[in-house]
């Protein structure tokens, strides 16, 4: 496996490859969820490129950016063990050699959920992903469904801007107690980690209501919120949305995503599940 930090070096390495290229963009602090993305790419393409770049432009809180874990040596070892061909780990100066003046904005799909509570976040995400797409030029790019809104944003961006890359969503990887794997989980205290499964349990409760014939999104949301009545949990949002537009639905007639963001102490967690209404 090659480990590269220069765009020029990466392009030279890619130009020597013959076959399909899969791409897994990450911010490092890799866990089994990232591992599933890498494994899927390795299985489905000839060469896999994993980027490790903590992108400053998608953090609306400088303290959150400063706290984000940097574990490059461990991350690179995991990539190598899973069969990645190249790890691309540029510096911020390599990715942004001059103040950025061109940005990618994706409307509507970014308006609610994370977009409402993290202004500028998706502009930073879409811009850096487009930059990485231009640099790597893969055949396929792999994103986790845990960040369902991010996946929807990237799919819309690729479709609207005619990006010739297949965007592949990979199912959320969970711990045995249901908690979605996330780099942020390591910030939880021991006590908070025992509370974290309640988020997934509330999502499952809402999904069961929908799949058993529930038709009123508002009452189902209220029941899920009530299930999260714990002094250590502060809900930022719990919404039932269309999986493509990520807009709240008023009727339950087609598949929906039930999405949550909540604080446990000083750690913000997100999760979601897909639910299919009974026909």
DSSP 8-state code for residue 168: E
| Tens of pLDDT, residue by residue, the chain (279 residues) | 999 999 999 999 999 999 999 999 999 999 999 999 999 999 999 999 999 999 999 998 888 888 888 999 999 999 999 999 999 999 999 999 999 999 999 999 999 999 999 999 999 999 999 999 999 999 999 999 999 999 999 999 999 999 999 999 999 999 999 999 999 999 999 999 999 999 999 999 999 999 999 999 999 999 999 999 999 999 999 999 999 999 999 999 999 999 999 999 999 999 999 999 987
Cα(79)–Cα(86) distance, integer angstroms = 8
Strand 21-26 to 166-170 pairing? unpaired
User: For residue 57, what pLDDT is reported?
Assistant: 93
Output the CA–CA distances (angstroms, integers) from residue 54 to 36, 67, 68, in the order listed.
Answer: 20, 11, 8
Burial of 204 from C-beta contacts in 10 A (0-12 / 13-18 / 19+)? middle
Catalytic residues: 34
User: For residue 64, what pLDDT is reported?
Assistant: 86
What residues have CB less than 8 Å from 97, skipping those under 6 apart?
A: none
Burial of 223 from C-beta contacts in 10 A (0-12 / 13-18 / 19+)? middle
* Domains parsed from the chain with CATH numbers: 2-170 (3.40.50.620), 183-274 (3.30.1300.10)
User: For residue 266, what pLDDT is reported?
Assistant: 94
Cα(236)–Cα(263) distance, integer angstroms = 7
User: For residue 230, what pLDDT is reported?
Assistant: 95
Output the CA–CA distances (angstroms, integers) from residue 174 to 36, 178, 196, in the order listed.
Answer: 11, 5, 12
Instruction: Name the E strands within 97-137.
Output: none
User: For residue 61, what pLDDT is reported?
Assistant: 84
User: For residue 86, what pLDDT is reported?
Assistant: 98
User: For residue 226, what pLDDT is reported?
Assistant: 97
Instruction: Starting at the earlier edge strand, list the strands of the sheet with 267-275.
Output: 233-241, 256-264, 267-275
User: For residue 63, what pLDDT is reported?
Assistant: 85
């Amino acid at each position: 496996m090659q480990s590269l930090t220069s765009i020029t070096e990466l392009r030279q390495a890619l130009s020597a490859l013959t076959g399909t290229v899969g791409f897994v963009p990450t911010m490092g602090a890799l866990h089994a969820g990232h591992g599933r993305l890498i494994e899927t790419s390795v299985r489905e393409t000839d060469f896999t490129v994993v980027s490790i770049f903590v992108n400053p432009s998608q953090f609306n809180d400088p303290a959150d950016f400063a706290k984000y874990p940097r574990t490059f040596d461990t991350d690179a070892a995991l990539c190598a063990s899973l069969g990645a061909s190249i790890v691309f780990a540029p510096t911020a100066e390599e990715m942004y050699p001059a103040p950025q003046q061109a940005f990618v904005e994706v409307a509507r799909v970014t308006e609610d959920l994370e977009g409402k509570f993290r202004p500028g976040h998706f502009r930073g995400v879409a811009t850096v992903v487009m930059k990485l797409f231009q640099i790597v030029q893969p055949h396929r790019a792999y994103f986790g469904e845990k960040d369902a809104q991010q996946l929807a944003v990237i799919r819309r961006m690729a479709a609207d801007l005619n990006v010739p890359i297949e965007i592949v969503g990979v199912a959320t990887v969970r711990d045995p107690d249901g908690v979605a794997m996330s780099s942020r989980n390591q910030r939880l205290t021991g006590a908070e980690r025992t509370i974290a499964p309640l988020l997934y349990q509330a999502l499952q409760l809402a999904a069961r209501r929908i799949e058993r014939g529930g038709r009123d999104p508002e009452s189902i949301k209220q029941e899920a919120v009530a299930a999260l009545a714990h002094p250590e949990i502060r809900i930022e949002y719990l919404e039932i949305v269309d999986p493509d537009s990520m807009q709240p639905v008023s009727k339950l007639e087609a598949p929906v995503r039930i999405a949550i963001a909540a604080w446990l102490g000083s750690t913000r967690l997100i999760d979601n599940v897909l639910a299919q209404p009974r026909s």
